[in-house]
Amino acid sequence: MANVRAYLVLSAFAAGAALIPGAALAVPSADNGKAAFVKHGCWQCHGFEGQGSTETSAGRVLYDTKLPLEAFKAYVRDPSGAMPPYHAEILSDSDLADIYAYLESLPKPKPASEIPLLKQSSAAGESR
Ligand code: HEC
């Protein structure tokens, strides 16, 4: 009987332990991401809004990145150009996912066709 009880206790423990990795997969937080973007100095080259600059990010714009999350993470871990690499010991996977969520949460520009002034000037350009 004692063995059965020990088994039940152990299996309940194992079931609980199995839930812990699930807890680590918390929904990414744009607020944490903003803090991590600042803390890790991404803003120094990419700008606070991920708007980038020709001087410091080779014109790369992050707020509107076309990279899917996995490719985004892979680039930050092992960049190919002037950007310094950020290894997992410095920047955790969850902070990186939060940074991505922050960038995704930033407002995106409208297409030129939805901006009246640009629509006008492109129409004017066409009539020339
Ligand atoms: C010292 C400047 C610098 C810092 C700091 C920096 N980057 Fe970059 N990043 C760059 C440059 C320059 C590029 C353009 C490609 C290259 O040269 O590596 C780039 C490219 C990228 C790209 C690829 C974008 C694309 O569309 O190809 C991502 C993603 C990125 N950076 C994310 C980050 C994140 C997240 C951080 C902070 C953890 C960060 N960077 C910090 C300079 C920087």
Which residues, judged by CB distance below 6 Å to any ligand atom, belong to the binding site of ligand 1? 40-42, 44-46, 56-58, 60, 62, 65, 67, 72, 75-76, 79-84, 86, 91, 99
pLDDT over 90 (residue 10): no
Alpha helices in the chain (DSSP H): 2-24, 30-39, 42-46, 69-77, 93-105, 116-127
Atom of ligand 1 nearest to the CA of 80: 18
Annotated domain spans of the chain: 27-109
Q: Which two tokens stand for residue 8?
A: 């039940």
pLDDT recorded at residue 1: 53
pLDDT recorded at residue 123: 60
pLDDT-derived band at 17 (thresholds 50, 70, 90) equals: very low
Choice between 68 and 109, residue whose per-residue pLDDT is larger: 68
Three-state secondary-structure class, residue 95? helix
Domain at 27-109: CATH architecture: Orthogonal Bundle (1.10)
